[in-house]
Amino acid sequence: MPTSVASPRLGDELFARLLTYGTPQETHRGDVLFRPGDEDVDLIVVDRGSVEVVRTETADVPAATVAAVDAGGFVGELNLLTGQNVYLLCRVREGGTVYRVSPERLRQLMANDVELSDIVFRALIARRELLQRSTAALSVEIVGTDRSPAALALRTYAARQRLIHLWFEAGTPAGQAMMESSGLTEEDLPAVVLPGATLKQATPGGLAEKLGLSYRRSSTKPVDVTIVGAGPAGLAAAVYGASEGLDTVLLDAVGTGGQAAASSRIENYFGFPFGLSGADLTGLAVLQALKFGAQLASPCQAVRLDTDRNGDLLRLHLQGGEVIDSKAVIIATGARYRALPLERWPDFEGAGIYYAATELEARGCTGNPVTVVGGANSAGQAALYLAGRGSEVSLVVRGPDIATEMSAYLVDRLLAHPRVTVRCLSEVTRLDGGDFLEEVTVTDRTADNAQAQPCSGLFCFIGAEPATSWLTGIATGDDGFIRTDVQLADNDLGPAWATLGRRPLPFETSIPGVFAVGDVHSGSMKRVAAATGEGASAIASVHKAIATLA
C-alpha cells in the first residue's frame, strides 16, 4: 500500500507511544504471526525487520501478496475492532522485532491517546476500503440469482457489515465458472465461498458464525447495558454508552442500520447539507461504537427478556440459547413496514416486492417501471432514487395529499420530477407475475377505477408494526408501541417501583432498568435525528438507573 491514510508513517515520538501498548516478540524469516481463521488477532507493530500479508492459495484462487510492511509500520484492519476472523496470512519477510498490541490494549489506546487513535483508526478504515476494491484480498464470494430473496438477504448483510466480498450472478459466464470450480449446483444456491470452506444454501446467520461475527463473550461478568436493535437509536445509545465507560453490548436480529440503512438518501439530517445515504450514516455510527469498545453481534436475535431482576440483573435470552445478564437493557428494535393483504404477496417478497430501495434492490429494476407505496419520507426518498436510475415511478398514496406526512422539500421534488407520477387516494389491489413480479393493479378509491400496469418492482413503505412480539410484561399502548416515563399510569407500575422509591426515568419502561427508544417507543417521530437523540439521551437515564439499582 502506498504511503497514505492507509499506510501512515509515524514520527519517532508517536511510534514510541504506539510501542508502549504492545508486547515485544523476536521474529525470524518465515514466522507466521497470524493465519486465516484466527480469532482476536493482535495489531502487529514492526519495530525491526519486515512482514508481509498474503492471501493464501485456494483451489480456484492463486496466492497473492496484499501488503508488505517495513519497520515503522503496523499490520491490521477493521477486523481488529469487529472481531471478524482473519482470512489472510501474516508472515515475517525479514527477522527482527514486532510488538503485539492485543485487542484490549488497542481499545485502551483508542480511549486514552486521541492523536494516535485518530491515525490508527483512520488507517484501519482506509485499509478496509482498499481491501474491498482488491481482488487479491477478496475473502467472501457470494453466488446466487439476482432476484432470489435468500441471495438478497446475504448481500444486504455483507454490505451492511462492510464485509470484503464479491457477487456472482449464477446466470453469467463468471457465475457459471465460479460454480463449476467450487462444485456447486443450482440447488446449493445461494452459496458463499470462503478460504477453505463453502457454505451451501447459505444464510446471514451461517455466514456470521463462520466469520466469527455471531455473539460470543469470553466473560460471564454481567454487562452494564445491552442494546437490542442497531438502527439509529440503538447505535446512538451504543456510541454514547461505550464512550462514557459502560460495558456495552449491541445486538441486531438482521443487520446493522435498521430501516435507516435502507434509505437511499437523507437530506434533512443535521450537519449534512448535501445529504448522505442511510447506509453511510449508520455505517459510520457502527465504526464509532466499535472504536469506543462496544461489542456488536449481528445477526443475533433476542427471544425473551426475564424482567424479574434476579439478583438485580436482567437476563436476555438469545436465539442460539446464550444468555446475557445486564444491569440495564435498551429496547431499540424499531418497527417493521406492513405488508399489503394481497394474494401472492409472500411469493413476490424479495422477488419483486421490497421494503428498501438501495442499489441492491434497485439493480434489477433499473430503467423499468416500478411502483412505490407509501406517503411518508421513506417512500418519497425511494421514489426519487428509483426515478434517478431511469425508472418510471408510480407513487401510490392512500391518503388525499402527500404533503400530510412528507417533508416539503421531497413533495416539491416529486411533483416536479418528469418520471414520477403521484397517485393519491389510490391503492395497489392485485399482483401478477410468474416467478417474479411483472404487473400490479392500482385502484383509484374515488372512482373505483382499477388499472393494470407493468411493474418490475414494488417498494412498500406503509405503516409500521412495533417489533415487540418477543417481549412480555412491558406496558404498551393499544397500537403495541412501548410506553415510557410520563406515558405510564400508576397501575402500570408493579411493586418493584415502591422498593426503588422513584418514578420511571426518561425513556424507562414499566420495568425498572428497561428502556425503549426510537421507532418502538410510543409517540416517536419516526425520524433519524429524533431516534439518535433518544438513544443518546437514554444513556443518561441508564447511569441513574444503575446507581439506584446497585
| CA gap 135, 210 in Å, rounded | 21
Distance (Å, whole) CA 414 – CA 421: 8
Please identify, in words, the CATH class of the domain defined by 138-211. alpha beta
pLDDT of residue 361: 87
> Do residues 206 and 188 touch, judged by C-beta distance below 8 A?
no
For 5-34, b where at least 16 C-beta lie within 10 A, e where not — what string? Answer: ebbbebeeebbeebbebbeeeebeeebebb
Q: How far apart are CA 98 and CA 77, in angstroms?
A: 17
Q: Cell 418528469 belongs to which residue?
A: 418
Task: Provide the total of helices (H) and of strands (E) in the chain, helices listed first.
Answer: 15, 27
Q: What is the pLDDT of residue 1?
A: 40
The pLDDT, as a whole number, for residue 80 is 87
Let me know: does 219 contact 295? Beta carbons within 8 Å: no
Q: Do the Cβ atoms of 506 and 486 come closer than 8 Å?
A: no
CATH superfamily of domain region 345-460: FAD/NAD(P)-binding domain (3.50.50.60)
Half-sphere exposure of 297 (CA within 13 A, CB side): 21
Boundaries of every domain in the chain: 12-102, 138-211, 223-336+465-549, 345-460
User: What pLDDT score does 273 carry?
Assistant: 87
Query: How many angstroms from the chain centroid is the CA of residue 517?
Result: 17
Q: Name the one residue in this structure whose C-alpha cell is 508481509.
A: 52
In degrees, to the nearest 5, what angle opens at C-alpha 106 toward C-alphas 283 and 116? 85
Residue pair 228/331 in contact (Cβ under 8 Å)? The answer is yes
Torsion sign over Cα 236, 239, 245, 250? positive
- Whether 223-336+465-549 shares its CATH topology with 345-460 is answered yes
User: What spatial distance separates the first Cα and last Cα of the chain, rounded to whole Å?
Assistant: 50
Q: Which three cell numbers stand for residue 392?
A: 418510471
- Please state whether 367 falls in left (phi above 0), alpha (psi between -120 and 50) or beta: left
The SS3 assignment for 312 reads coil
Q: Is 290 helix (H, G, I), strand (E, B) or coil?
A: helix
Q: Hunting for cell 452459496 — which residue is that?
A: 191
Report d(CA 280, CA 297) in Å as an integer.
19
Pair 246, 232: CB distance under 8 Å = no
C-alpha span between 292 and 280 (Å, rounded)? 19
The three three-digit cell numbers of residue 342, written as one number: 394481497
Q: Please give the Cα distance from 129 to 124 (Å, whole number).
A: 9
SS3 185: coil
Q: What is the DSSP string of 231-250?
A: SHHHHHHHHHHHHTT--EEE
What is the pairing mode between strands 295-297 and 89-101? Answer: unpaired
The pLDDT of residue 160 is 81
pLDDT tens-digit profile of 441-460?
999 988 878 999 999 999 99
pLDDT, residue 413, reads 95
Name every residue whose Cβ is closer than 8 Å to that of residue 163 and which is 6 or more positions away in sequence.
Answer: 84, 139, 140, 157, 211
- Note whether 480 and 295 are within 8 A (CB): no
Q: Which residues contact 421 (CB under 8 A, 6 or more apart)?
A: 392, 393, 394, 395
Within 8 A by CB and 6+ apart from 140, the residues are 158, 163, 164, 165, 166, 192, 193, 194, 207, 211
Question: Length of the chain in residues, anyone?
Answer: 550
Radius of gyration of the chain (CA): 25
CB atoms within 10 A of CB 213: 24
The CB-side HSE value for 356 (13 A sphere, CA atoms) comes to 23
C-alpha cell of residue 132: 474491498
* Topology of domain 223-336+465-549, CATH: FAD/NAD(P)-binding domain (3.50.50)
In CATH terms, the superfamily for domain 12-102 is: Jelly Rolls (2.60.120.10)
Q: What is the pLDDT of residue 218?
A: 60
CA distance 10 to 14: 6
Q: Which of 495, 535, 500, 530 has the alpha carbon at shortest distance from 515?
A: 535
Residue 388: CB atoms within 10 A of its CB come to 14
Q: Which segments of the chain have a pLDDT < 70?
A: 1-3, 57-62, 132-139, 217-219, 309-311, 550
Cβ-count burial of 268 within 10 angstroms (0-12 exposed, 13-18 middle, 19+ buried)? middle
Residue 351: CB atoms within 10 Å: 20
Any bridge partners for residue 326, and if so which?
223, 314
By three-state DSSP, how is residue 410 classified? helix
Please report which residue ranges of 161-231 form alpha helices under DSSP H.
173-182, 204-211
Q: Which residues lie closer than 8 Å to 378 by C-beta, 6 or more apart?
A: 259, 262, 263, 461
Residue 256 dihedral angles phi and psi, to the nearest 5°: -65, 150
Q: What's the confidence (pLDDT) of residue 3?
A: 47
- In tens, the pLDDT along 467-479 reads 899 999 899 998 8
